[in-house]
Amino acid sequence: MTSKRQLLVSIALAVATLAFLGAVLWWEQAHPPATWSALPSGKPERGAALFKDKGCVRCHAIKGAGGTSAPELGSDRDSRRTPSQLVVSLWNHAPRMFERMRAEEITYPKLDEHEVADLFAYLYTARCIDETGDAVRGKRLFDLKGCDRCHTDQAKQSRDAPPPLDALRASASPIAWARAMWNHPSLPNEKEPPQLEGRDMNDIMAYARKGQSIGLDWLLVAADTDRGWKLYHEKACVGCHALKGEAGRVGPDLGPGRDLPPTIVQLAGSMWNHSLAMSRAMSAKGVKRPKLEDREMADLIAFLYSIRSAEPGGSATLGEVVFEGRGCSSCHGSNAQGTSTAPSLRGKNNRYSSISLGTVLWQHGPEMNKRVVEKGLKWPDLSEGDVGDLLAFLNSAPAGRS
């Protein structure tokens, strides 16, 4: 008797779990998360045009194209990975940048919030692009990992033969390479693919490129995170990969709670490493491995990376300490209530974000800097951890006023 009851209980539990999963999926479909739209609201393609039109390109280069009198903005340095990191580096460098603009008599660029969002999206995209790898090490790895056994130097013998080494060159840019790794056929006899680590894949791709350096990947610049979000659902990724730590999925969580490889080519390496396990999980679930086009891969990757750059949360109380400690209060008042020299900043209907803080800098920075100099103060530098708290403070109403 007991065993029958146990069976009924476990069936009931299984049904409840399925219903719950179904509800979670439905909820995710119906409610694209709002905070994720902080960065995606900008369009990298428009940002690329603004970068030229607003004259940034006169001083800054991206991937080597542009001026050389200011830091290159397209290198994969850690310091500009998220909008808050970007706004901090912009904020801290602003006085010297303003000085350079004055010295070179460059018209100061006027930017509104949409334009800053576009520029940030573009700079962010430029940063995700990989540095060119080491082609000599890449050749060694190509042989060591067995790629050379199929991708030989000779031209194809038959129609089904793998493309020769030379032909791989056509796919040797970050997004196309990731697409190729996703679509890559399994090795014969379900052999586990030889694992690639760290920058191995960058070096292999550099070999396929014959060492030619990587420029900006326009597939990524044209990517659309909203389309990526849709594809994530349409291509069944969401059935196996949670985004918000829900249990019950067979693949690793791909949401913001977990680090992805830092660049696209390294993500391609991770797809190669996991391809057999992923194929097996797909056969077990009766899912056919979806083939992806370049553009689809670009949209998916843009989506996956953009959800890692949501606004940091923060505490208004800590933000008040930051506001005091960084010296903002010496002009704006200890409660940011405003003084005779600087405007009031706080209110519960404020919607400051990293993007609007960046906009403030372009719109009010030079005037602010002028006051800093007049008062004999030091420019208030920010550190990355400050941003979330500072935003929470500025967006909260001062005590006694609601």
Q: Which is nearer to ligand HEC, 38 or 207 (CB)?
A: 207
Is 24 a binder of ligand HEC (CB under 6 A)?
A: no
Is 70 a binder of ligand HEC (CB under 6 A)?
A: yes
Q: Which stretch binds ligand HEC (CB under 6 A): 5-13, 21-29, 132-140, 167-175?
A: 167-175
Is 330 a binder of ligand HEC (CB under 6 A)?
A: yes
Shortest approach of ligand HEC to residue 23 CB, angstroms?
A: 20
Q: Which of residues 294-323 bind ligand HEC (CB under 6 A)?
A: 300
Give the whole-angstrom CA distance, residue 361 versus residue 382: 13
Give the whole-angstrom CA distance, residue 329 versus residue 338: 9
Of 39, 48, 90, 214, the residue at the interface with ligand HEC (CB under 6 A) is 90
Q: Which of residues 209-228 bind ligand HEC (CB under 6 A)?
A: none
Let me know: does 275 contact 289? Beta carbons within 8 Å: no
Of 327, 338, 347, 398, the residue at the interface with ligand HEC (CB under 6 A) is 327
Shortest approach of ligand HEC to residue 19 CB, angstroms?
A: 21
Where does residue 52 rank: exposed (0-12), middle (13-18), buried (19+ CB within 10 A)?
A: exposed
Q: Which is nearer to ligand HEC, 121 or 310 (CB)?
A: 121
Shortest approach of ligand HEC to residue 159 CB, angstroms?
A: 10
Q: Which stretch binds ligand HEC (CB under 6 A): 29-37, 216-224, 232-240, 312-320?
A: 232-240
SS3 readout for the chain: CHHHHHHHHHHHHHHHHHHHHHHHHHHHHHCCCCHHHCCCCCCHHHHHHHHHHCCHHHHCEECCEECCCCCCCCCCCHHHCCHHHHHHHHHHHHHHHHHHHHHCCCCCCCCCHHHHHHHHHHHHHHHHCCCCCCHHHHHHHHHHCCHHHHCCCCCCCCCCCCCCHHHHHHHCCHHHHHHHHHHCCCCHHHCCCCCCCCCHHHHHHHHHCCCCCCCCCHHHHCCCHHHHHHHHHHCCHHHHCCCCCCCCCCCCCCCCCCCCCCCHHHHHHHHHHHHHHHHHHHHHHCCCCCCCCHHHHHHHHHHHHHHHHCCCCCCHHHHHHHHHHCCCHHHHCCCCCCCCCCCCCCCCCCCCCHHHHHHHHHHHHHHHHHHHHHCCCCCCCCCCCHHHHHHHHHCCCCCCCC
- Residue window 250-279: x/- pattern of binding to ligand HEC, with contact defined by CB under 6 A: xxx--------------x--xx--x--xx-
Is 81 a binder of ligand HEC (CB under 6 A)?
A: no
Of 264, 298, 360, 392, the residue at the interface with ligand HEC (CB under 6 A) is 360
Of 21, 37, 100, 230, the residue at the interface with ligand HEC (CB under 6 A) is 100
Of 20, 367, 383, 397, the residue at the interface with ligand HEC (CB under 6 A) is 367
Shortest approach of ligand HEC to residue 189 CB, angstroms?
A: 10
Residue type, 277: A
Shortest approach of ligand HEC to residue 6 CB, angstroms?
A: 30
Q: Which of residues 145-164 bind ligand HEC (CB under 6 A)?
A: 145-147, 149-151, 162-163
Q: How many residues bind ligand HEC (CB under 6 A)?
A: 85
- Residue window 276-295: x/- pattern of binding to ligand HEC, with contact defined by CB under 6 A: -xx--xx--x-x--x-----
Of 33, 164, 215, 239, the residue at the interface with ligand HEC (CB under 6 A) is 239
Shortest approach of ligand HEC to residue 106 CB, angstroms?
A: 5
Number of other residues whose CB lies within 10 A of the CB of residue 252: 13
Q: Which is nearer to ligand HEC, 1 or 358 (CB)?
A: 358
Q: Which stretch binds ligand HEC (CB under 6 A): 22-30, 37-45, 141-149, 215-223?
A: 141-149
